Chains A and B, each alone.
Chain A
Amino acid sequence: MESEIAQITQHTGGVIGNAWLMIAFPLVGAFILLVFNKLTDRWGHLLGVAMSLASFVVAVLAFFELIGFGASERRRAVELYEFIPNLDLKMGLLIDPLSISFALLITGVGSLIHIYSIGYMAHDEHRRRFFAYLNLFVSAMLLLVLADNYVGLFIGWEGVGLASYLLIGFWQFKPSAAVAAKKAFVVNRVGDFGLLVGMFVIWTTFGTLAFKDLYGKIGEAGASDGVMLAIGLLLLLGACGKSAQLPLQSWLLDAMEGPTPVSALIHAATMVTAGVYLVVRSGAFFFPEGSGAALAVTIVGAATLLAGAIIGCAKDDIKKGLAGSTMSQIGYMMLGAGLGPAGYAFAIGHLITHGFFKADLFLGAGSVMHGMNDEVNMRKYGGLRKFMPITFVTFFIGYLAIIGFPLLSGYFTKDGIIETAVHHAPVLGWLAVLGAGITGFYMSRMVFMTFFGQKRWADDAHPHESPAVMTVPLMVLSLGALGLGAWLVLGGTLYDFLIPSVGGSAAEAPKFNPFTTPGLVTLALVAVGAVFAWMRYGRAEVPAVQPRGSFLTTFARRDLYGDAINESLFMRPGQWLTRLAVFFDNRGIDGLVNGLAAGIGGSSGRLRRIQTGFARTYALSIFIGAALLTGALLLVGTI
């Protein structure tokens, strides 16, 4: 099956030859906005939007140029420059169906969120800085997906982490935001470390980090199974960090401290999908079908999709509820990505449709908050559908898409993952079915608590519809949530398109068939979940104060004790370790280092006295130096 992966062709000229422009536009935007600072305050947001749109245009043109080639020639490598000549590290881009799919999603949804942010951040005095960071993020993310080697990918990876840190902590005057940003950064470092070590192992084993060269070298003997498994698991650790998968999930819920467009762009539609990208991109190398590494990917995915769904059930904060659902949905993608070529297309398809409906949901939530004085507690919403009709309709479409309502986007892609999973790994597959049922419950709960039922507003709330600059992106996104899935999945469009990148063969293209047992059970469970939610939160009165709840509810409210586990398992021992280390450091190592430093400093102080300031002393030192030099030369010369 892997033989279907197309050769990578060198490419120059055309739009693809200039694909670096995609990365350069937003980078230049961020540069201008940050360097020219307050000078750009008045038009900075427009520049940010323009740069993102320019990038989108390049991506679209590159896409059309790419599909102009035959399927087997759709992997175009563009050489940019020698990065580190001595290490034979070239910087280049790889434009292929996989990367262009991501590029279109990033720039397309990214641009919509840029536009939305004009309205959302209108009253923020640091709006320009916000757009600078958004641009920085888009640029880094594009580098991540377009680079033709792991080094470029890693630079983008880190750039994305940086932008995410800056954006979560954008309102750094709030201590909670600053803490959340730090947490995201630290947790991500753990994952980054895995990726980095994984890259080291790849380098020492294969002597290259370029995708193109790896294809040739993977087949050759030389790497033991253990090494391959180690690389796979290290890369998976990296993916877990960036994609908020178990056990590195804890940062995502806190990341909601950032402005809502950030949650939409980064923590739903794009950045968190980087892990899925990493797994799919490395799939042919380190996650071959049936390998231990691939199994680990599916287990992580299945566990996370359940955990995220359970957390989503208990949250009263609308954004945190959505964050739980993001975890869960990415769990689906991971599950799909671990299933080999058959799953890749659905994983990527779900990633794309999720990019749309989750951005739609988040921006909808942002729109609700915008009208409700930034209230996020759903217990203080209720009955909002009459006051925010556009937001309601678009949110509702997103909601139907995410629960997998037949014929909407999520239905096709999620069902595809479930079918494939049940086929390849039945236990995990049925867990995914269960997850879909829980999704039906918690998403319905969110919709009923927000838009239906009694008004439970704060006294000073005056809900109103958001301006057009915010609602238009919502409408565009909800169109994607409506029809994109059908277009991608029916007839195997995406599957065929991705074959040159990820393998598989046209003959084996999975046919979409909703009338299978798992498909029907899924639908039934979703319906049960939705009805249950209606009974609890639609029809019945929702208490304005959170009830105590059962043991299970508390479990979910506390994010499955993820933070508690981290604290007791890593933080406290870590603190003890640091204390111990500090103790030894002070006594032992510092003694040595300080001694050395003091020695150097002391000798510096002593040597300094030679510098008397008298020209005669200097002349004498020159004279002595000359004498020594002559003496030494005569000595060496006569030996």
Chain B
Amino acid sequence: MNPAIDAPTIEYGTLAPLLIVFGAAIIGVLVEAFAPRYLRKSIHVPLTLLSLAGAFALVLVQVLRGQVSTAPSAMGALAVDGPSLFLWGVILVLSFVCVLLVNDEGHFVASAASVPGSADEEGAESVDNGSGHTEVYPLVLFAVGGMLLFPAANDLLMMFVALEVMSLPLYLLCGLARRRRLLSQEASMKYFLLGAFSSAFFLYGTAMVYGFAGTVSLSGINHALSAGSGLDPLLLIGLSMLGVGLLFKIGAAPFQAWKPDVYQGAPTPITALMASGTLVAAVGAVLRVFWVGLGNLDWDWRPVIWVIAALTMIVGSVLAITQTEIKRMLAYSSVAHAGFLLVGVMATFGTAEQNAVSLKAILFYLAVYGVTTVGAFAVVTLIRDPGGEAGHLSRWAGLGKRAPMLAGTFAFFLLAFAGIPLTSGFFGKYAVFAAAVSSGTQPGDPIGGWMVGLVVVGVIASAVAAFFYVRVIVLMFFSEPAADGPAIAVPSMGTVAVIAVSLLVTVGVGLYPESVLGIANDAASSLFIR
């Protein structure tokens, strides 16, 4: 007789949003397998959108009923706490609007295997019968499921699984651009190789930390840290390896190299998803690991993160200046923003109130930055040359005269990125910097002065960044349009909705920041489950 094994208890109610997304993804795979080709898209689109909306509704239900759990779920593997639910909500909203972009015609190749320049690809371009890649939808759903899992994972193994579930579909999706196949496949390949490389670091770090703590659970590691000396080289090496894996995902310097290449090559809706959803999930995971797992070790990791944050802001802002491709420029801008977010991560130190303030700032920043990013990439999808999107900045010259509404909207998004007042971006940056300063000025922090110094670096980097944002605005509004300028695609209803919603949120939050700040505050006040 085998000894009886206790059935694990699973809190289905709490985990329902996750389960819905994964369930819908699996149904999507079945649809791919069994439904006839002409029906697939009409099944996938409502299925995907409904599952995301449903999951969001369930998140809302948990929040509104005040049922935010205070203990880990699923036998300690997951922690669905206030910040997790907030991040879930943000990720679900962002992925919903990204799916609306995905749904737009003409972004995806008919078959991922079609060789660049081959007759196969030509055929795919000429046949416009909706034969686009319908696997895109379940793949996106799996990626979104991984994103939801990532910041909620409460042990390192679960986090690794989430990392892979999130990344693998994205590797594939990057290679599906319909135009410029070579660039797209190159991006996919690079992302896969480098992603695998960094995942290995993460897994290796997990093993090292297990060697020190005897557990992979974050709270267990924290416990072991407070008991032990904390100076075990095994632990420090493990910490650094974990850091590499996580910082790679948010694109912090010196692990940012993949971002421009991948963002440029990937189909723009997928770029939007990566730049918003992945970043949100990864920053959430960074917070959880560094704060829940390694909170007692902050003497050791904070100086190192200081250097990385400063480096990331500088590299992102400075390199963006010489970019001539709009998506690459936005990629470097995303690097710079990752640096600003790391400033917030640095500020999670000290009292619980200080932590809540910093956490609130980061959550707010993630939400508003994600929305603006999706909006900006949505505009990028509309400016087209015969060979695809008109990526080169010179093609954007004089756009303000040809399409004033679109150019005005894009200009507004850029101002939000730059953090100009009366946009949501201003309050995001302000909140993060203010949290960092208040953390630096509280008594007892030996690196308090350095915190203020980091904010100064951040402000200077913002000024440098403002240059290249405004340069695009100048280009759009104060240059003569090129004679054979790019075509402005007639946007589909979905794309219009995405741009309009992004603009409304960016303006609305800029005028009334308390709307989102309040929610972020509620989410952050419960802190992470330790």
Q: Are B201 and A626 in contact (CB under 8 A)?
A: yes
Q: Are B257 and A621 in contact (CB under 8 A)?
A: yes
Q: How far is B323's CA from A605's CA once the two chains are assembled, in angstroms?
A: 9
Q: How far is B377's CA from A25's CA once the two chains are assembled, in angstroms?
A: 33
Q: Are A636 and B303 in contact (CB under 8 A)?
A: yes
A625 proximal to B (CB < 8 A)? yes
Q: Are A636 and B244 in contact (CB under 8 A)?
A: no
Q: Are A615 and B193 in contact (CB under 8 A)?
A: yes
B236 proximal to A (CB < 8 A)? yes
Cβ of B261: which chain A residues have Cβ within 8 Å of it?
Answer: 611, 613
B233 proximal to A (CB < 8 A)? yes
Q: How far is B208's CA from A630's CA once the two chains are assembled, in angstroms?
A: 13
Q: Contact check: which of A81, A615, A628, A634 meets B233 at CB < 8 Å?
A: A634
Q: How far is B514's CA from A95's CA once the two chains are assembled, in angstroms?
A: 24
Q: Contact check: which of B236, B241, B320 meets A626 at CB < 8 Å?
A: B241
Give the Cβ gap from A610 to chain B, nearest Cβ, in Å.
7
Q: Are A604 and B248 in contact (CB under 8 A)?
A: no
Q: Are A619 and B301 in contact (CB under 8 A)?
A: no
B198 proximal to A (CB < 8 A)? yes
Most B Cβ at <10 Å: residue of A85, A601, A622, A636? A622
Q: Are B239 and A619 in contact (CB under 8 A)?
A: no
B434 proximal to A (CB < 8 A)? yes
What's the tally of chain A residues with a CB closer than 8 Å to chain B? 36
A633 proximal to B (CB < 8 A)? yes
Q: Contact check: which of A86, A619, A624, A636 meets B300 at CB < 8 Å?
A: A636
B119 proximal to A (CB < 8 A)? no
Q: Contact check: which of B189, B198, B230, B304 meets A629 at CB < 8 Å?
A: B304
Chain A contacts with B in 585-639, Cβ cutoff 8 A? 597, 600-601, 603-605, 607-608, 610-611, 613, 615, 617-619, 621-622, 624-626, 628-630, 632-634, 636-638
Q: Are A619 and B319 in contact (CB under 8 A)?
A: no
Cβ of A567: which chain B residues have Cβ within 8 Å of it?
Answer: none
Q: Are B514 and A82 in contact (CB under 8 A)?
A: yes
Give the Cβ gap from B242 to chain A, nearest Cβ, in Å.
10
Give the Cβ gap from A594 to chain B, nearest Cβ, in Å.
13
CB-nearest residue of chain A to B322: A604
Q: Are A636 and B304 in contact (CB under 8 A)?
A: yes
Q: Contact check: which of B197, B248, B304, B320 meets A632 at CB < 8 Å?
A: B304
Q: How far is B319's CA from A633's CA once the two chains are assembled, in angstroms?
A: 27
Q: How far is B228's CA from A637's CA once the two chains are assembled, in angstroms?
A: 14
Cβ of A637: which chain B residues have Cβ within 8 Å of it?
Answer: 230-231, 233, 236, 300
Most A Cβ at <10 Å: residue of B189, B248, B318, B467? B318
Q: Are B322 and A633 in contact (CB under 8 A)?
A: no
Chain A contacts with B in 77-113, Cβ cutoff 8 A? 81-82, 84-86
Q: Mark B352-370, 1 if CB is under 8 A from A, else 0.
A: 0000000000000000000
Q: How far is B237's CA from A597's CA once the two chains are assembled, in angstroms?
A: 39
Cβ of A611: which chain B residues have Cβ within 8 Å of it?
Answer: 257, 260-261, 319
Q: Are A625 and B255 in contact (CB under 8 A)?
A: yes
Cβ of A605: which chain B residues have Cβ within 8 Å of it?
Answer: 322
Q: How far is B202's CA from A622's CA once the two chains are assembled, in angstroms?
A: 13
Cβ of A81: which chain B residues have Cβ within 8 Å of it?
Answer: 512, 514
Q: Are A630 and B237 in contact (CB under 8 A)?
A: yes
Q: Contact check: which of A37, A86, A621 meets B434 at CB < 8 Å?
A: A86
Cβ of B198: which chain A residues have Cβ within 8 Å of it?
Answer: 622
CB-nearest residue of chain B to A620: B257
Give the Cβ gap from B301 to chain A, nearest Cβ, in Å.
7
Q: Are B321 and A601 in contact (CB under 8 A)?
A: yes
CB-nearest residue of chain B to A602: B322
Cβ of B224: which chain A residues have Cβ within 8 Å of it?
Answer: none
Secondary structure of the B contact surface, majority rule: helix
Known: A630-B240, A630-B241, A637-B236. A619 touches B194 (CB 8 A): yes
CB-nearest residue of chain B to A37: B405
Cβ of B15: which chain A residues have Cβ within 8 Å of it?
Answer: none
Cβ of B318: which chain A residues have Cβ within 8 Å of it?
Answer: 600, 603-604, 607
Q: Are A618 and B322 in contact (CB under 8 A)?
A: no
Cβ of B434: which chain A residues have Cβ within 8 Å of it?
Answer: 86
Q: How far is B194's CA from A199's CA once the two chains are assembled, in angstroms?
A: 55
Q: Are B304 and A633 in contact (CB under 8 A)?
A: yes
CB-nearest residue of chain B to A616: B193
Cβ of B308: which chain A residues have Cβ within 8 Å of it?
Answer: 629
B501 proximal to A (CB < 8 A)? no
Cβ of B162: which chain A residues have Cβ within 8 Å of it?
Answer: none
Cβ of B315: which chain A residues have Cβ within 8 Å of it?
Answer: 607
CB-nearest residue of chain B to A626: B244
Q: How far is B190's CA from A597's CA once the two chains are assembled, in angstroms?
A: 32
B307 proximal to A (CB < 8 A)? yes
Most B Cβ at <10 Å: residue of A37, A85, A625, A632? A625
B258 proximal to A (CB < 8 A)? yes
Cβ of A613: which chain B residues have Cβ within 8 Å of it?
Answer: 261
Q: Mark B311-325, 1 if CB is under 8 A from A, else 0.
A: 000010011111000
Q: Contact check: which of A35, A603, A615, A634 meets B237 at CB < 8 Å?
A: A634
CB-nearest residue of chain A to B517: A85
Q: How far is B253's CA from A628's CA once the two chains are assembled, in angstroms?
A: 12
CB-nearest residue of chain B to A624: B254
Q: How far is B262's CA from A615's CA once the two chains are assembled, in angstroms?
A: 11
Cβ of A597: which chain B residues have Cβ within 8 Å of it?
Answer: 467
Cβ of A86: which chain B residues have Cβ within 8 Å of it?
Answer: 430, 434
Give the Cβ gap from B427 to chain A, nearest Cβ, in Å.
9
Q: Are A622 and B257 in contact (CB under 8 A)?
A: yes
Q: How far is B301's CA from A618's CA once the two chains are assembled, in angstroms?
A: 24
Q: How far is B464's CA from A632's CA once the two chains are assembled, in angstroms?
A: 28
Q: How far is B193's CA from A619's CA once the two chains are assembled, in angstroms?
A: 8
Cβ of A618: which chain B residues have Cβ within 8 Å of it?
Answer: 190, 194, 257-258
B243 proximal to A (CB < 8 A)? yes
Q: How far is B317's CA from A597's CA once the two chains are assembled, in angstroms?
A: 13
CB-nearest residue of chain A to B421: A84
Cβ of A601: which chain B residues have Cβ within 8 Å of it?
Answer: 321-322
Q: Are A615 and B194 in contact (CB under 8 A)?
A: yes
Cβ of A621: which chain B residues have Cβ within 8 Å of it?
Answer: 254-255, 257
Q: Are A622 and B304 in contact (CB under 8 A)?
A: no
Q: How far is B247's CA from A628's CA once the two chains are assembled, in angstroms?
A: 14
Q: Are B244 and A622 in contact (CB under 8 A)?
A: yes
Q: Are A607 and B257 in contact (CB under 8 A)?
A: no
Q: Are A85 and B254 in contact (CB under 8 A)?
A: no
Q: How far is B319's CA from A122's CA once the two chains are assembled, in angstroms?
A: 54
Cβ of B517: which chain A residues have Cβ within 8 Å of it?
Answer: 85
Give the Cβ gap from B344 to chain A, nearest Cβ, in Å.
16
Cβ of B257: which chain A residues have Cβ within 8 Å of it?
Answer: 610-611, 617-618, 621-622
Q: How far is B239's CA from A617's CA once the two chains are assembled, in angstroms?
A: 24
Q: How far is B290's CA from A97's CA once the two chains are assembled, in angstroms?
A: 58
Q: How far is B298's CA from A636's CA once the two chains are assembled, in angstroms?
A: 11
Give the Cβ gap from B400 to chain A, nearest Cβ, in Å.
15
CB-nearest residue of chain B to A80: B512
Q: Are A626 and B240 in contact (CB under 8 A)?
A: yes
Known: A605-B322, A622-B198. A638 touches B231 (CB 8 A): yes
Q: How far is B114's CA from A203's CA once the two chains are assembled, in angstroms?
A: 66
Q: Are A604 and B321 in contact (CB under 8 A)?
A: yes
Give the Cβ gap from B329 to chain A, nearest Cβ, in Å.
12
Binding site for A on B (CB under 8 A): 189-190, 193-194, 197-198, 201, 230-231, 233, 236-237, 239-241, 243-244, 248, 253-255, 257-258, 260-261, 299-301, 303-304, 307-308, 315, 318-322, 405, 430, 434, 464, 467, 512-514, 517
The 5 closest A-B pairs by CB, nearest first: A625-B254, A618-B257, A630-B240, A604-B322, A604-B321
> Can you add 18 more A-B contacts, CB < 8 Å, to A37-B405, A603-B318, A619-B197?
A81-B514, A85-B514, A85-B517, A604-B320, A607-B318, A613-B261, A615-B190, A619-B193, A622-B244, A625-B254, A626-B241, A629-B243, A630-B236, A630-B240, A632-B307, A636-B304, A637-B230, A637-B231
29 contacting pairs across A/B (C-beta < 8 A): A37-B405, A82-B514, A84-B513, A85-B514, A600-B464, A608-B322, A611-B319, A615-B193, A618-B258, A619-B197, A622-B197, A622-B198, A622-B201, A625-B255, A626-B201, A626-B240, A626-B244, A629-B243, A629-B244, A630-B237, A630-B241, A632-B240, A633-B237, A633-B301, A636-B303, A636-B304, A637-B230, A637-B231, A638-B231
